[in-house]
Amino acid sequence: MTKLNQIIAVEKGVKSGSARELAEARALLQKQALLAGIARTYQPKDEEGEQLPAESTRVQVTSEEVLRRTAATLTRLFDVTATKDWANTTATADVTVDGEVLLPQVPVSYLLFLEKQLAELHQFVKSLPVLDAAESWSFDDSTDTWRTDAVRTIRTRKVPRNHVKAEATEKHPAQVEVYYEDIAVGYWTTVKFSGALPARRVNELVQRVETLREAVQFAREEANGAEVADRRTGDAVFRYLFR
C-alpha cells in the first residue's frame, strides 16, 4: 500500500505539472487557426476555363480532444489530493516527551499547526528580557518582581570656600580664590526592581520549546508513514463535467 509521506512527496510535482498542462491547453484553444479547417474545389464555367487544384486544411486541434487530455491530467491531481486529504483525517501519532505521552493520537493537520506555532513561540521565548548579570537579584514576593539588595550612597552639596593666596597689604587687597567643596548632606538608599527573568529561566523555557518541537516533528513523521488507501475521485468528477 501507499504511505502518506509518499503521497506528500509527489503532490507538489503533480500540482505544478497539472497547472502547466492546463495553461498550455488554454493557450492552445486560443489559437483559432489550429481549430479551423477547410476543403474547397474549383470548377470553371466551361470546359475551356482554367483548372485550379483543390485546397484543403485539416483541423489540427479539437476542443473535445483537449478536454479529454485535460481531464486525464487533472484526474491524477484530484486523486493524489483526495488520497492525502482522506489520509489526513485518519493518520495520527502520539506526541511523546521523555517517554510520556503528552498528546495522544494527534492528527497530521494539527501536528502541522503545532509545529508552526512552536517555531514562532521559540523566537518569542528567546527574546524574553534577562536580568542584568552585573547585579545580585532575589525574588520579592510582595511585588512579584526581582529586586537587588539596598545600596546606600552619600548625597553631597557643593559649598563655596575661600582660599587666600596673598594677604592684604597697605597697597593691595588680599588675593582670594573661591573654590567649592563637596559636603555630605544626606544618604540615598536604593533598591532596584525588575520584571525580567533570570538567564537560567529563559534558557530552561527555550529548551522546553525545542524539546516539544522535536517531539511534534517526530510525531508528524510517524503519522506521515501511515499506510493509506488510494482514492479515486477524478473519474467521477470529469465523467460528470465533460460527458
Distance CA 54, CA 43 (A): 9
Lowest mean pLDDT among 142-146, 178-182, 191-195: 178-182
Determine the pLDDT at residue 79: 93
Contact (CB, 8 A) for 125 and 202: yes
Q: What is the pLDDT of residues 59-72, one digit of tens each?
A: 888 888 999 989 99
Long-range CB pairs of 57-64 (<8 Å, 24+ gap) are 59/34, 59/35, 60/34, 60/35, 61/28, 61/29, 61/31, 61/34, 61/35, 62/35, 63/29, 63/35
Per DSSP bridges, beta strands 55-57 and 100-107 are: unpaired
How does pLDDT run across 4-48, given as a tens digit for each residue?
888 888 888 999 999 999 999 988 888 888 888 889 898 888 888
Rounded distance, CA 223 to CA 162, Å? 89
Higher pLDDT, 123 or 35: 123
Look at residue 181 and tell me whether its pLDDT is greater than 80: yes
pLDDT at residue number 1: 66
Tell me how far CA of residue 44 lies from CA of 50, 53, 194, in angstroms. Answer: 6, 11, 107
